[in-house]
């Protein structure tokens, strides 16, 4: 679920770069931050749970016995992964709830990128011509 949520959030976040209609949309920026935070939180919860579960299940581990060990096995083996799955699912839902870009908005970005490339090529050419003239 974390991988799916991460891909969903990443795909939704790529819309920000490609669609100028989203650049100044406050709701989109809020969801952008919230989705990334939820996916990051799910990753941290899962990593910490796996480490603690592995330490708990080591051979001849005697720090916890009886009901305390059974409780920790249930916590780190069942409870925490369920929480992580839920947080990842919320991250994916946030990514799907993000506002959609305007139709045909990508053409504006292509034009802006073309202008940036043209201006940088002209500036580079002018700089090289000036460098050749000066002694």
Query: Distance between CA 118 and CA 91 in Å, rounded?
Result: 39
| pTM of full prediction above 0.75 | no
Query: pLDDT, tens digit, for every residue of 12-44?
Result: 777 766 677 677 777 777 877 888 898 889 999
Looking at every residue in the chain, the average pLDDT score rounds to: 82
Contact between 75 and 53 under an 8 Å Cβ cutoff? The reply is no
For the chain, the domains span 2-103, 104-135
Summarised one tens digit per residue, pLDDT across range 99-131 is: 666 666 667 778 888 999 999 999 999 999 888
Two tokens at 33? 């931050």
Contact 87, 79 (CB under 8 A): no
């Amino acid at each position: 679920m974390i991988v799916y949520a991460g891909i969903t959030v990443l795909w939704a976040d790529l819309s920000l770069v490609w669609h100028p209609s989203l650049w100044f949309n406050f709701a989109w920026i809020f969801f952008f931050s919230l989705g990334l935070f939820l996916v990051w939180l799910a990753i941290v919860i899962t990593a910490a749970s796996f480490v603690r579960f592995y330490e708990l299940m080591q051979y001849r581990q005697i720090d916890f016995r009886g009901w305390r060990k059974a409780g920790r096995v249930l916590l780190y083996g069942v409870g925490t992964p369920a929480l992580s799955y839920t947080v990842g699912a919320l991250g994916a839902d946030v990514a799907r709830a993000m506002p959609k870009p305007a139709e045909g908005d990508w053409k504006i970005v292509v034009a802006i990128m073309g202008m940036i490339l043209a201006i940088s090529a002209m500036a580079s050419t002018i700089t090289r011509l000036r460098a050749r003239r000066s002694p």
